[in-house]
Amino acid sequence: MPAFLPPEVLLRGYAAGVFPMAEGRDNPEVFWVDPKRRGVLPLDGFHLSRSLARRMRRGGYRASLNADFEAVLDACADRAETWISAPIRDAYIALHARGHAHSIEIWEEGALAGGVYGVTLGRAFFGESMVSRRTDGSKRALAHLVDHLRRCGYTLFDTQFLTDHLARLGAVEISRAAYRARLATALGGEADITALPLDADPVQVVQRMTQTS
Residue 25, Cβ neighbours under 10 Å: how many?
16
Q: Which amino acid, residue 92?
A: Y
Helices (H), the chain: 7-15, 50-58, 69-77, 86-97, 137-151, 164-168, 176-187, 202-212
pLDDT reading at 211 higher than 90: no
Q: Please, which residues bridge with residue 175 across strands?
A: 37
Q: Are strands 156-160 and 124-132 parallel, antiparallel or unpaired?
A: parallel
Domain ranges, ordered by start, for the chain:
7-212
Q: For 23-65, what is each residue's pLDDT tens digit?
A: 999 888 899 999 999 999 999 999 999 999 999 999 999 999 9
97: helix, strand or coil? helix
Q: For 145-163, what is each residue's pLDDT tens digit?
A: 999 999 999 999 999 999 9
d(CA 15, CA 186): 10
Q: For 106-137, what is each residue's pLDDT tens digit?
A: 999 999 999 999 999 999 999 999 999 999 99
Q: Which CATH architecture has domain 7-212?
A: 3-Layer(aba) Sandwich (3.40)
Q: With bands split at pLDDT 50, 70 and 90, how would you rate the model's confidence at 1?
A: very low
pTM value surpassing 0.85? yes
